[in-house]
């Protein structure tokens, strides 16, 4: 499902829907607060959490990839959202399907060993036994199963924390101040104008309560693909499909269609056949995200082009000292 529009309203004008739902949001926040107080497993290797305060996509997967490229020998432990496996099980991209592991673990498995485990502590034990030098916990900021040595909260600089209310009154899994109090670093992702907007908005509002901030930007991976002028029919089942379509426009494609799917939506034969017919009618190439690509049936992967993206650090001055502090410098 797509988030309601009022979730993106300014914090000082959240709208009547958010105000009406705020009592339920406070109950949600209380449940989260009780959960995160539980003691967790202490591992024998550094544990890095990459999470967010909001529901939906904020750039966690590119952040995990960027950290994997920096930390030799790290493994990933993830719940495997959308998959059927309980785990702990190491993801094998040649054997597993997205229906079993979830799409993000399959994508991440191209960069490092990935363990799917509903019990994060069991996943960390499995990674440690397999020789991991460190573990990156994907989407675990509100999960207390394992004690973290470094917690990174990721948010979009432009949208940031939405209207500042908790689900269902807003996009938050917990109040901003409570979530940031447990964070060692805040990564804001976006173009310079969006970074400035964050600084003038939430940055000024929270002031000294912000953890050290690092900045980055999601950029297309330079593969040599000649995107300029290519007729494209795009589809995306991610948290913010519009960002993907804007990225394609920025590459100079001729966008003949932009189909927004639900986040993690299954890509069945009927849906794909319809998308193919619509693309053919526009004499356009089907294009999708890396995350959607791993959910495609094998017979479709030769018909669709992926657009890979990566996190580029714009200001990561605080990251090096933070990694050094936990023995990964």
Q: Do both 258 and 168 map to the same domain?
A: no
Give me 319's structure tokens. 């990251």
274 occurs within a structural domain: yes
For residue range 3-41, list pLDDT tens digits in order.
888 998 888 888 899 999 999 999 999 999 999 998 899
Q: Do both 65 and 200 map to the same domain?
A: yes
- Range(s) of the domain holding residue 262: 231-307
* Residue 251, pLDDT score: 94
* Residue 224, pLDDT score: 86
The label of the residue with tokens 């998959």 reads: 83
64 occurs within a structural domain: yes
Binding site residue list: 54-61
* Residue 56, pLDDT score: 76
pTM beyond 0.85: the answer is yes
33 occurs within a structural domain: no
Q: What is the mean pLDDT of residues 147-159?
A: 94
Q: Do both 61 and 80 map to the same domain?
A: yes
Q: Which of 152, 116, 115, 103 is nearest to 289 (CA)?
A: 103
* Residue 1, pLDDT score: 59
Average pLDDT over the chain reads: 92
The label of the residue with tokens 């967790």 reads: 40
Q: How many domains does the chain have?
A: 2
Binding site residue list for ATP: 54-61
40 occurs within a structural domain: no
Q: Do both 154 and 200 map to the same domain?
A: yes
pLDDT at 57 over 80: no
Give me 53's structure tokens. 């305060």
Among residues of the chain, what percentage have pLDDT more than 90? 71
Looking at 199-309, list the stretches that DSSP marks H as alpha helix, in order from N- to C-terminal side. 204-206, 241-250, 269-281, 290-293
Q: Do both 91 and 133 map to the same domain?
A: yes
Q: Do both 179 and 278 map to the same domain?
A: no
Q: Do both 126 and 98 map to the same domain?
A: yes
204 occurs within a structural domain: yes
Q: Do both 174 and 318 map to the same domain?
A: yes
């Amino acid at each position: 499902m797509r988030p309601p529009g009022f979730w993106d309203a300014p914090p000082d004008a959240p709208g009547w829907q958010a105000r009406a739902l705020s009592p339920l949001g406070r109950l949600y926040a209380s449940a989260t607060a009780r959960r995160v107080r539980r003691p967790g497993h202490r591992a024998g290797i550094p544990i890095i959490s990459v999470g967010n305060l909001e529901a939906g996509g904020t750039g966690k997967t590119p952040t995990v990839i960027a950290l994997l490229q920096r930390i030799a020998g790290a493994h990933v432990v993830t719940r495997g959202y959308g998959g059927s496996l309980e785990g702990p099980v190491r993801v094998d991209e040649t054997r597993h399907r997205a229906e079993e592991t979830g799409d993000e673990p399959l994508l991440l498995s191209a960069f490092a060993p990935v363990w799917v485990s509903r019990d994060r502590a069991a996943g960390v034990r499995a990674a440690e036994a397999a020789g991991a030098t460190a573990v990156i916990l994907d989407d675990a900021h509100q999960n207390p199963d394992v004690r973290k040595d470094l917690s990174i909260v990721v948010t979009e600089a432009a949208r940031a924390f939405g209207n500042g209310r908790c689900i269902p009154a807003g996009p938050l899994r917990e109040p901003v101040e409570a979530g940031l109090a447990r964070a060692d670093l805040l990564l804001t992702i976006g173009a310079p104008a969006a970074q400035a907007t964050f600084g003038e908005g939430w940055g000024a509002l929270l002031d000294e309560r912000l953890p050290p901030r690092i900045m980055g930007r999601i950029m297309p991976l330079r593969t040599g693909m000649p995107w300029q002028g290519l007729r494209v029919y795009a589809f995306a089942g991610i948290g913010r499909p519009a960002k993907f379509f804007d990225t394609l426009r920025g590459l100079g494609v001729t966008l003949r269609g932009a189909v927004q799917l639900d986040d993690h939506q299954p890509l069945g034969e009927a849906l794909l056949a319809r998308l193919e017919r619509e693309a053919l009618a526009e004499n356009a190439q089907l294009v999708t995200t890396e995350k959607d690509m791993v959910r495609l049936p094998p017979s479709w992967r030769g018909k669709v082009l992926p657009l890979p993206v990566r996190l580029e650090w714009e200001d990561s001055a605080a990251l090096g000292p933070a990694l050094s502090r936990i023995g990964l410098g």
